[in-house]
Amino acid sequence: MHRISRPRPDDAAAIHELVATYDTAVIGAPDSTLEDIADELAEPGFDRDKDGWLAHGPGGRLDGWAWAFRKGDSDQVDVEVIVRPGVPGLAEELWRAVLARAAELGEERGHDAVTLDIGVYRADEAKQARVKELGFEPATSYHRMRIDHHGPVEPPAVPAGLTLHSGESEEVRREAHRVHQEGFAEHFGFVPVGYEQWYEHRQASSATDWSQLTLARLDGRPAGLLIGNDQFLSDEGCGYVATLAVLPEFRGRGLGRLLLRHAFAADASRGRKGTILHVDAGNTTPALDLYESAGMRPVMVIDIWRRRL
């Protein structure tokens, strides 16, 4: 019999141990850090008293961790259920709680139904089968891409009329927010948010470094954006491209490739082993081809499963 409780900030270490054990069983190594878990627990909009569950076994060991997280005021809810390998029966109990809370989150925002998304490692065939049994269907896949840096990387030449600006000033951040919202408007799972919420979300993350945001202006007009952060620094020794967006009217001019190469050079200059990013295989732009042609290679696939509830 497991005792169910709500997560608190000081539960981060126990949650990390559980998640690392699960990751190692599935993909051979931990895929998150203690800082990642602490950030999840402090995420703006995540109500620890309603949106998360911990399941402790008879000896006090943490055997389960589950959550439901609303995406703004939309009908979309991200969910997760992680159970220690070899612990039977617990997943069903946690899934019941997650599905019920997801429905409540939709009702609280006036939606007749909710759209649930969960990311599952392609290597985890058992979890893929579980979510399929629960009514989820494949929606898209994210490929984790990586390039290694073996010394300095030559930064790209910046053509006339193009200027690059880092994100320490609010003016640049506000323009970056607009480029992000317009550039990602047609992407899978995207939910538009205002500047304050966009800023709060990033400011709350321990991985954020505004100097790694690069806004590209073409003839003085915001045209493209790259947001890097430290998410993969402590465990992989790599930089991370969290966001790469080019406004539709400026696509086809090599701006995305230039921003990507700029990030490679910046990461190498910081002494990082490489650069990592995730790309949606169903992207409306040919992003996967861009990253492969820039020298990146796929190292993992995470499938997104979706259910209408």
71-113 pLDDT tens trace: 999 999 999 999 999 999 999 999 999 999 999 999 999 999 9
Q: Does 145-301 match 3-135 at the fold level?
A: yes
The pTM of this model reads 0.94
Residue 75 burial class via C-beta count within 10 angstroms: exposed 0-12, middle 13-18, buried 19 and up: buried
Average pLDDT value for residue range 152-172 = 97
| CATH superfamily, with its number, for domain 3-135 | Gcn5-related N-acetyltransferase (GNAT) (3.40.630.30)
pLDDT at 286 over 70: no
Locate 74 and state its tokens: 């939309």
**Cα 166 from Cα 176, distance rounded (Å):** 10
Domain spans of the chain, in order of start:
3-135, 145-301
Q: What's the pLDDT score for residue 287? A: 77
**What is residue 284's predicted lDDT score, i.e. its pLDDT?**
61
Share of the chain above pLDDT 90, in %: 95
- What is the per-residue pLDDT across 221-259, written as a single tens digit (0 to 9) for each? 999 999 999 999 999 999 999 999 999 999 999 999 999
CATH topology of domain 145-301: Aminopeptidase (3.40.630)
Q: How confident is the model at residue 266 (pLDDT cuts 50, 70, 90)?
A: very high
How much of the chain exceeds pLDDT 70, in percent? 99
Total residues found in the chain within this entry: 309
Q: Nearest Cα to 2, choosing from 102, 87, 98? A: 87
pLDDT bin (cut points 50, 70, 90) of residue 1 is: confident
285 pLDDT tier (thresholds 50, 70, 90): low
Average pLDDT over the chain reads: 96
